[in-house]
A = this chain, B = another copy of it.
Amino acid sequence: MAERAASSASPRGRRRGSPDTRSAILEAARSSFAAHGYAGTTMRAVASAAGVDAALVHHYFGTKDELFLAALQLPVDPRALIGPAVAGPVEEAAERFLGVFLSVWDDPEIQPSLLSFARGMLDPSATRLVSNGLLPVVIEPIGVALGISDPHLRMPLVASQVIGLILMRYVLAVEPLASMPRDRVIATFAPTIQRYLTGDLP
């Protein structure tokens, strides 16, 4: 069906499937997510802004979640981090999650693009991308997969500490956090994250 959509495109001068079409869709998606947030963006509106059939958007990007992840241009698929964090007892989830997360951030090949991504997310124009997109699409599913209670409350708490850690250790490179060995960073922050995941909260 996607094939058919691609070949039957441009009845009213719409674009045919091509690398340009893919970029046009991605650009339209980025504008729409930034302007209207995740919830306020539809596949149909993105297709219309890009001048293509909605079926072509599905063909290239699958679901709205996948289109959103593509629009974020993350250097790493965050869903790849969920597996290791979820496998194992929930009482040690914070340690596992920090281990995977920091090993990705500490990787000198990936870090530069993660840094530009983080700086982009801190730009005022990206505010809605984070609050209405990154949290529900990327961060809250980790809590759901872990089976914790109240992921809608607990995952924003986790995010508050993880974002602050990224800022201090990588973006601002504040010592002694910037050059602290990874195991010590994990041991420092795991109790905080674990309490937010499964501890008693007011």
Contacts and interface: CB of A to CB of B under 8 A. Distances in A.
Interface of A: 119, 122, 124, 127, 130-131, 135, 152-153, 156-157, 159-165, 167-168, 171-177, 184, 187-188, 191-192, 195, 201-202
A1 to B, nearest CB: 37
A187 B161 contact: no
A127 B172 contact: yes
A97 B83 CA distance: 38
Q: Is the interface of A mostly helix, strand, loop or mixed?
A: helix
A199 to B, nearest CB: 9
Contacts of A156: 168, 174-177
Nearest to A152: B176
A202 to B, nearest CB: 4
B153 A176 contact: yes
Q: Count chain B CB atoms within 10 A of each CB in A124, A160, A176, A192 and give the residue with the most.
A: A160
A39 B199 CA distance: 41
Q: Count chain B CB atoms within 10 A of each CB in A122, A127, A162 and give the residue with the most.
A: A122
Contact of A159 (B130, B164, B202): B164
Closest 7 CB pairs of A and B: A164-B164, A187-B202, A160-B164, A122-B122, A131-B172, A160-B168, A163-B164
A181 B176 CA distance: 34
11 contacts: A130-B172, A131-B172, A152-B176, A153-B176, A156-B174, A159-B174, A160-B168, A161-B164, A161-B192, A163-B164, A164-B167
A131 B191 CA distance: 25
